Structure 1
Amino acid sequence: MTDPTPVLRLEGIVKTFPGVRALDGVSFSVLPGEVHALMGENGAGKSTLMKVLGGIHTPDEGQIFIDEEPTQMTSPQHAKAKGVVFIHQELSLADELSVAENIFLGELPLKSFGLVDWAKLYADTNAILKTLNVGFDAKTRVGDLSIANQQMVEIGRALTVDPRAVIFDEPTASLTDAEKVVLFDVIADLKARGVGIIYISHRMEEIFKMTDRISVLRDGSYRGTLITAQTDEDEVTQLMIGRALDLSRNVSHHDMGPVALEARGLSCGDLFRDVSFSVRQGEVLGFYGLVGAGRTEIAETLFGLRDPSAGQILLNGEEVRISSPMEAIRLGISLVPEDRKGQGLVLGMNCRDNMTLPQIDDLRTGPLVSEGAEVAIFDQYRDKLDIRTPGWRQTVGNLSGGNQQKIVIGKWLSMRPEVLIVDEPTRGIDVGSKSEIHNLIRDLAAQGYAVIVISSEMPEVLHVSDRIVAMYSGRVMREFTSDEVTEDSLIQAISGIDGDKVA
């Protein structure tokens, strides 16, 4: 029996930018009805390869084949016309337009005299939305939707054509568990129709659940293809980063100081209620729970973004009232937000300016900002955090996810906080950079920082935390030390099962 013809094949793709060989003879293919993972660290070349496939970049060498017919993608519109559709991690929707207008943007059905056939547009859109099992309709304004539902609109765009291959780039980054189930059903339906799926994700559990094969890039080069059912996480990780990872449980090897921050009976409306906890100098306190448990809202309250409706916040044993982020920063509390690109960075600015932004007034010499002082701060934390960038002039938006996260962490460390809150520290970051961020968090605790880590990944919170606060529906269910917690007890607590042991 002969092997099926690939729906999409890239052969010997080379792409060079000034000073950088981003792709070095990469070959890749996806078969009909196959979910093929494309993996690699941030900066490995995945995005560049997809931009070549999508007509954004022209390769210097190599060839693209659709159903074994050579083609050259000249634009994203051309790629879509050829049946290659992208579901981007970064949303590209028009907030002021309706769901229908976004899904069929550039392809609106027309009647005579060039008028839009609104009835057909809404009917076609609602038919697509029905397959996605969403709770909104064609006329809904996209700007009124949650980020998760906006992602479903992006997926809806792929269903307007008869695709040969669909590329999903970190598709579950903004989705709840229920929405992930819908997404996986959509992918299964596409697979059953013979569509080839390219699945880009850093989430190993999804890779091993969803895919048939895994191809790995490292440093712009193709490193191999594995059959998912015949490999494991260790082999994939070795291929990606060239080394094994330390995924052991955290065991503290340093002394902790006094309590740095304490919350007593803290509440914020219906978001969370009667929350009490403390974190000591030199300690990593992990918060773990399902989406909607109230973890991020607690961090935002500690940082002055939300006003508590009840309770106390104590810093070094003294009650404080935090009315704004500026007040939190003055008191020595810093927050690395969940959405580093939308809330933590100015992507169009350079690395130095991003890192020194919160303290710009302190770096003034008369009316001007001291460039020397800014560069000195950047150089100090680039070396301290091993930020990989050619220099401070590099635009932050061009860095890998791991290095962007280090810029945000460096920005707040340069303010010398007493308490550092890190919300989803490795979201959208590859396994190699995850390990670096985890080691960085542990090192900060060893230096005496009080660190609060909020994570949706159980291995992460187990790996970095000295104690873990388990939350369910706005309440603290249990608190665990690192040596007593088990996966089963943690899952029970965040599922609301352990109601008789509410902390």
Structure 2
Amino acid sequence: HQELSLAPNLSVRDNIFMGRELRTRTGLDFAEEQRQARALMADLEEDIDPMTLVEDLRLGQQQIVEIARALSVDSRILIMDEPTSALSATEVEVLFKVIRDLTSRGVSIVYISHHLEEALQITDYAVVLRDGAITATAEARDIDLEWIVRNMVGENFDLGSPPTGHEFGEVALSIEDVSVVDTSGSGYSVVDHLSLDVRAGEIVCIYGLMGAGRTELLEAVAGRVPMAGGRALLEGEDVSGLSIAQRISRGLVLVPEDRQRDGLVQTMTVGRNLSLASIEAFARGLFLSRSRERELVEDSIRKVTVKTAGGNAMIGSLSGGNQQKVVIGKMLTNNPKVRIIDEPRSGIEVGAKAEVFRLLSERAAQGLAVVFSTSEVNECLSIAHRIVVMRRGRISAEFGANATKEQIMAASGEAVVA
């Protein structure tokens, strides 16, 4: 599934075999379930203990568990909806090897993806959908990226390039000697004495594989996880001791990696989700100005081009890409000084991604400092002024906008696939 359907309070093993538990004559066969779960993790080249609670895993690891559950069923047809949205390039290659093995054994795969390079790499036959209708079909060997994009969005489209023509301002965000310790209690530093400055108007991409410490760094700066050392300064003010709400009010906002769990309230409407971060703007004592809230919501929907019936529609009625745009729009309503985005590509097709990047470029040209993390190299190259590569909790390299894909991947420790 594009959105994970795991039970976070159960173990990896229990999630894989939920609803079809293995049994012996005397009861459940936990030992065999654990053996098969370990074998599935080995096939996916992931060192995940089957007894680990899913809620203790990072989003990318949870996606691996979701894939393992699908693979554990002896199916003739397997439908995969955005299976790689939180995976690194190396993990994608491992999944592709598994898919090729399945197809060689006669299993049919329906592979749904917004990642065009993946579609060309793994599929035999391509079907393009736009607004619920099939716009084109072809054998993969007869098409290219331009053909897919043209049929997806109705025109040739690219993600753009870093905004030019403006000078960077003063340092907006300063990360000084920050360390973050693994929450499992191991004492391992997932972020190890890292320092980084971001100037007003600058777009900085933090690239790295899963486990490099990207998410932990951004969450520590935003106040979601504690720092074991160091501090974060917003325009010279130490915000390390402030709450998340206080940091947001100061102008430091985070768009989280897991929008379903951390970025949206699924029981609320599109409008209420958009207005949550800026309630103070239309508060009148103990009451809210509904007219001002409605104006803000309508303006946000228009700016981030959310496809919805209106602000009163439930957030769960939107597609994954439109939900992601609501999260991004919410964090623009209070005119932040620094915008932190963890994996902006999650669940967004190429047209929506281009719109989001265009919006970020426009805001950067107006002085917004943008920091985003990604495991997709092309995103860094398409929009970032500066690319920071993380490896094992530290910065392993920094590049300008003219860096090559091979340089960035090599600095991350990732094998470059020819």
Q: For the superposition of Structure 1 and Structure 2, which TM-score range results when normalised by the shorter chain? A: 0.7 to 0.9
The aligned counterpart of 2:7 is 94
Call closer, same or farther: CA 1:109–1:425 in 2, change over 3 Å: closer
What is the rounded CA distance, in whole Å, between the counterparts of 2:237 and 2:141 in structure 1? Answer: 56
Equivalent in 29, 32, 35 of residue 123 of structure 1: 32
State whether residues 159 and 353 of structure 2, in contact with CA within 8 Å, keep that contact through their aligned partners in structure 1. Answer: no
- Please tell me the residue identity of whatever aligns with 1:227: E
What is the Cα deviation at residue 275 of structure 1?
Answer: 2.1
- Please tell me the residue identity of whatever aligns with 1:250: P
Call closer, same or farther: CA 1:308–1:147 in 2, change over 3 Å: closer
Q: Deviations over 1:290-338 (max 9, x none)?
A: 2222222221122122333333433323444343212211321111111
What is the rounded CA distance, in whole Å, between the counterparts of 1:156 and 1:266 in structure 2? Answer: 35
Task: Between 250-259 and 326-335, report the one with greater CA deviation.
Answer: 250-259
What is the rounded CA distance, in whole Å, between the counterparts of 2:252 and 2:55 in structure 1? Answer: 32
What is the Cα deviation at residue 146 of structure 1?
Answer: 5.1
When Rg is computed on C-alpha atoms for both structures, the one with the higher figure is 1
Call closer, same or farther: CA 1:448–1:185 in 2, change over 3 Å: same
- Please tell me the residue identity of whatever aligns with 2:357: H
State whether residues 324 and 347 of structure 2, in contact with CA within 8 Å, keep that contact through their aligned partners in structure 1. Answer: no
What is the rounded CA distance, in whole Å, between the counterparts of 2:150 and 2:19 in structure 1? Answer: 43
The aligned counterpart of 1:174 is 86
Q: Deviations over 1:163-222 (max 9, x none)?
A: 221101111223455654443333223212211110111122322221111111122222
Equivalent in 391, 407, 411 of residue 472 of structure 1: 391
What is the rounded CA distance, in whole Å, between the counterparts of 2:39 and 2:20 in structure 1? Answer: 20
Task: Between 473-482 and 440-449, report the one with greater CA deviation.
Answer: 473-482
- Please tell me the residue identity of whatever aligns with 2:4: L
State whether residues 193 and 394 of structure 2, in contact with CA within 8 Å, keep that contact through their aligned partners in structure 1. Answer: yes
Equivalent in 355, 359, 368 of residue 274 of structure 2: 355
Are 1:202 and 2:114 an aligned pair? yes
Are 1:398 and 2:317 an aligned pair? yes
The aligned counterpart of 2:406 is 488
- Please tell me the residue identity of whatever aligns with 2:142: Q
Equivalent in 333, 338, 360 of residue 419 of structure 1: 338
- Please tell me the residue identity of whatever aligns with 1:489: Q
What is the rounded CA distance, in whole Å, between the counterparts of 1:294 and 1:98 in structure 2? Answer: 24
SS of the residue corresponding to residue 356 of structure 2 reads: helix
Structure 2 unmatched ranges of 5 or more: 182-188
Aligned pairs (5 A) from 1:66-465: 88-97=1-10, 101-108=14-21, 117-119=27-29, 122-123=31-32, 126-127=35-36, 129-133=38-42, 135=47, 142=54, 147-159=59-71, 161-176=73-88, 179-247=91-159, 249-250=161-162, 252-269=164-181, 270-360=189-279, 363-465=282-384
What is the rounded CA distance, in whole Å, between the counterparts of 1:345 and 1:139 in structure 2? Answer: 29
State whether residues 128 and 134 of structure 2, in contact with CA within 8 Å, keep that contact through their aligned partners in structure 1. Answer: yes
What is the rounded CA distance, in whole Å, between the counterparts of 2:15 and 2:237 in structure 1? Answer: 52
What is the Cα deviation at residue 374 of structure 1?
Answer: 1.4
Task: Between 132-141 and 341-350, report the one with greater CA deviation.
Answer: 132-141
SS of the residue corresponding to residue 331 of structure 2 reads: helix
Call closer, same or farther: CA 1:287–1:144 in 2, change over 3 Å: closer
State whether residues 163 and 365 of structure 2, in contact with CA within 8 Å, keep that contact through their aligned partners in structure 1. Answer: no
- Please tell me the residue identity of whatever aligns with 1:130: A
What is the Cα deviation at residue 283 of structure 1?
Answer: 1.6
Aligned pairs (5 A) from 1:21-100: 88-97=1-10
The aligned counterpart of 1:28 is none
Call closer, same or farther: CA 1:299–1:157 in 2, change over 3 Å: closer
- Please tell me the residue identity of whatever aligns with 2:111: Y
What is the rounded CA distance, in whole Å, between the counterparts of 2:407 and 2:84 in structure 1? Answer: 26
What is the rounded CA distance, in whole Å, between the counterparts of 1:135 and 1:372 in structure 2? Answer: 53
What is the Cα deviation at residue 354 of structure 1?
Answer: 0.6
What is the Cα deviation at residue 409 of structure 1?
Answer: 2.2
What is the Cα deviation at residue 144 of structure 1?
Answer: 5.4
State whether residues 128 and 151 of structure 2, in contact with CA within 8 Å, keep that contact through their aligned partners in structure 1. Answer: yes
Q: Deviations over 1:397-456 (max 9, x none)?
A: 222333322322222222121111122112221011111111111011112211112222
Call closer, same or farther: CA 1:309–1:150 in 2, change over 3 Å: closer
- Please tell me the residue identity of whatever aligns with 1:264: E
Call closer, same or farther: CA 1:150–1:290 in 2, change over 3 Å: closer
What is the rounded CA distance, in whole Å, between the counterparts of 1:401 and 1:98 in structure 2? Answer: 26
Call closer, same or farther: CA 1:104–1:428 in 2, change over 3 Å: same
State whether residues 252 and 339 of structure 2, in contact with CA within 8 Å, keep that contact through their aligned partners in structure 1. Answer: yes
- Please tell me the residue identity of whatever aligns with 2:175: A
State whether residues 103 and 125 of structure 1, in contact with CA within 8 Å, keep that contact through their aligned partners in structure 2. Answer: no
What is the rounded CA distance, in whole Å, between the counterparts of 1:89 and 1:359 in structure 2? Answer: 29
Task: Between 398-407 and 102-111, report the one with greater CA deviation.
Answer: 102-111
What is the rounded CA distance, in whole Å, between the counterparts of 1:444 and 1:257 in structure 2? Answer: 13
What is the rounded CA distance, in whole Å, between the counterparts of 1:221 and 1:141 in structure 2? Answer: 40
Call closer, same or farther: CA 1:156–1:320 in 2, change over 3 Å: closer
Call closer, same or farther: CA 1:192–1:117 in 2, change over 3 Å: farther
Provide TM-score, normalisation by structure 2: 0.86
State whether residues 116 and 148 of structure 2, in contact with CA within 8 Å, keep that contact through their aligned partners in structure 1. Answer: no
Call closer, same or farther: CA 1:92–1:432 in 2, change over 3 Å: same
State whether residues 122 and 139 of structure 1, in contact with CA within 8 Å, keep that contact through their aligned partners in structure 2. Answer: no
Task: Between 177-186 and 323-332, report the one with greater CA deviation.
Answer: 177-186
